[in-house]
Every structure is written in structure tokens, then in C-alpha cells.
Amino acid sequence: MADSVLSLNKLDVGFPGMTVVRDLNLDVADGAFVSLLGPSGSGKSTVLRTIAGLLPALGGRVLLEGQDITALPPERRNVGIVFQNYALFPTMSAFENIAFALRVAKKSKAEVERRVGEVAEMAGISDQLDKKPASMSGGQQQRVAIARALVTGSRVLLFDEPLSNLDAKVRASMRKEIKRLQSELGFTAIFVTHDQEDALTMSDLIVVLNHGKIEQIGDGRTLYRKPATPFICEFIGVSNELAPPLATRLLGFDVKGRSFLRHEDVVLGAAAGIPARVNHVEFLGAHSRIDLEVEGHGLSAMLIGDQLPEPGSTVSLGIRPGAAHVFQEVTG
């Protein structure tokens, strides 16, 4: 692809004697925000570390702006890394943290000051440069980390689960912050996370990894509405897995294999539905979860509003047309 800034070409990653992810192909457009999403152990961090050069590739190639960087050491790749917890050096001021790579490269004092000044201005931390990381807020630390990754002119930034240790509220504001900086500064982001909300809210493209395999690549809507595998159905959003007889009954055709139905796609009070018994109603604030029993099978539905069925009552159950995801078993 001509306009892709980063390409992974049949890349094998892992450790000597243990390949974690095999035959990975990915093209990342300039300025895109790409998430590598997967549960722990899926290999997403290993992929990121291989792109960074912290781990050697076991096979295949990594191309940056068309140039093969597979064999280059990390410092010559010109990709910036934002670490988990940011890895800001606690003994150095924000200025010295950002200036670190320039000092290693023995840039002149004037140039160091100019470039740190520029990138700090862009990140909005010009007035924080004298502070030590410990006396900065989480948001400021994140900006310093991004500025440090950008100062050598990197166009591609790798984020290694930077939000994983934060609580939900801080996490949400950090997400916005990263997204804002990315759209203002125009860098390309590869973002590793195990949190689907991170991936759905920020990404142009999500790569879902599971046990070292790519399950699906697509934007958030596609993953949610058109999951390619049973794993995606279960990993993104909340779904009911329908037992084959129930699926057959609800969908009106013979289902052999696995099928899934999202909670919000279950319709209660349908005109020509099947009777279902309400076992349990769980009020969750904005919505409620209804646990049902249909012909001996359990099923959950999501309802918005305060008009909730009584536990023990019977309701008529249907599904939104076309909402079920069916993975027919290929036989023969």
C-alpha cells in the first residue's frame, strides 16, 4: 500500500523456540489510530515489542515508510514508545526526560532546548518542564511520555497498555487526551490494550488477537455488528450463546454450529414470540438485565427504561431480525 506508514509483512513474533504470533500482515495508514486488542496472553504486547525492536522478529519483515527496519536496533527505528505507567525516569525533570534521546545523540545544547521547547509546546506542558514526574498529575505525566516519544521526530508512536493501571474515570479522560493529541499532532498510533472500551472509543482500526491468531481486523462498528468469529462475539459486547435447538426455533432455519445473540437484540413482548419465563431482573442504572428461561435454556435480555417485567411472569420473546450471528458448522 502506497500510503501506509507502517507495514507488517508475514511477521512471526515470539521468543526463541516459541512463536507467539505467526504470519501477521497489517498495513497502517499515515495518521491512523490502530489498536491491538486481545486478552492477556494473546500476543499483542509481543507484536508491539517486535515493532519497537525490543524483541527480534522470528520471521517476516517490518517496514516503516517503505524502508525495511526488521534488523535495526530500537534506537535506529525512529518509532516512539509510550510505556505502561509511562516509564518516566523519576530522578529527572520533565525537561530531562524529554531531552534524553537528544542528549544520547549528543545534540547541541541549543538544539536540545529548541526541540524540547517545541514538543513541550505542542503537548501543552511548557510550564511543567522543571517538575519531577512524581509531582505531576497522571495527565501531565502522559503528555511528558508522549512528548518524549515524539521529540526525535518519530511519526509512529507505540503505546504499551499505558492506561492499564488506572481507574475507570481517569482512564476515560486519558483516552480523550491521547486521542486529542493524536489528532492535533497527527502521529500514527499503535495502541495495545486488553480493554475493549479503549479500543472501541479511540481506534480507526482494531486488530483483535487471540492465542496468537488474528481473529478479525476492522473498525469498531464492524467488529460489533459483523463479528467474524465466535471469539469476537464473546469478547466484544455481551452476547447469549444460543443452544442449537433454541437457535433453530428462534431463527426459523436449521442451525448446526454456534450462534450468538446480543442482549439488546432480544425483544420482549414480541407479537409472534415464544413464551419465556422471567427468572431474575437486575437493575443496572441506565439499563436492566433480564434473565429468562426459554424451553429449558437460559437467555439474557437488556431493557432500557423502567417498565420491567416481574420475576416469575411469562413474556413473549422474539429477536431483532438479522441480529443473530450464526457460525454454521461446515460438514462433509
Partner 1 sequence: MSRSTRLDRVFYWLGLIVTFWAVLTFLLVPMAAALQAALFRHGSLAMFEAISELARSRRVRAALWNTLWMTAATTVTVTIVGMFQVAVLEYFRVRGRGFLKIGFSTPLVFGGVVAAAGYNFTYGPSGAITAALTALFPLIPRDWFVGWLGVLFAHTFLMTSFHFLFLRAAMRRVDYSTIEAARSMGASEATILRRVVLPVILPTVLAVTLLTLITAMGSFAAPQVLGGPDFHMLSQMVLTLNGLRRPDMAALLALLMGLVLMGLILLSQHFEAKGAYTAGAKTTTRIQLRAIRNPLARIVVTALAYLLAAVYLVPVALIVLFSFAPASSIGIEVLPSSFTLANYARVLGGGAAFVPFFNSMVMSSIAVAVGLAITLFAVPIMVRKRSWLTRGLDICFVLPWIIPTMLLAVGLIVAFDTPNPLVGNLVLLGSYWLLPIGYVIVSLPLMVRFMRSAFIGIDPAFDEAARAMGASGPYRFRRVVLPLVAPTAILVAGMKFNNLLAEYPLSAFLYNVNNKPLPIAIVDGAVSADPDQAAVSLVYVTPIMAFSLVVILIAERLSLGRTPESSNL
Footprint of partner 1 on this chain (CB under 8 A)? 52-54, 74-76, 80-81, 83-92, 100-101, 103-105, 133-134, 138, 141, 148, 152, 165-166
In the numeric block, which cell numbers belong to residue 198?
479503549
Residue number with CB closer to partner 1 (171 or 289) = 171
Toward partner 1, which CB reaches closer, 170 or 302? 170
Distance CA 177, CA 158 (A): 16
The DSSP call for residue 167 is: -
Question: CA angle 251-252-255, nearest 5°?
Answer: 70
Q: Answer for the pair 289, 263: CB distance below 8 angstroms, yes or no.
A: yes
- CB nearer to partner 1: pick between 128 and 240: 128
Closest-CA residue to 326 (of 205, 263, 268, 239): 239
- Give CA–CA dist 122/13, Å, rounded: 34
By beta-carbon proximity to partner 1, the closer residue of 35 and 152 is 152
Cα distance between residue 18 and residue 262, in whole Å = 36
Torsional class of 173: left (φ above 0), alpha (ψ -120 to 50), beta (otherwise): alpha
Determine phi and psi for 104, rounding to 5 degrees: -60, -40
Going by their DSSP bridges, the two strands 257-262 and 266-268 should be labelled as unpaired
Cα separation of the two ends of the chain: 38
Alpha carbon distances (Å) from 180 to 33, 84, 186, 331: 12, 19, 10, 49
Of the two residues 141 and 300, which places its CB atom closer to partner 1 in the complex? 141
37/145 with CB nearer partner 1: 145
Minimal distance, residue 134 CB to partner 1, in Å: 6
> Cα 33 from chain centroid?
10
**Judged by CB, which is closer to partner 1: 140, or 288?**
140
DSSP string, 172-197: HHHHHHHHHHHHHH--EEEEEES-HH
Of the pair 92, 228, the CB lying nearest partner 1 is at 92
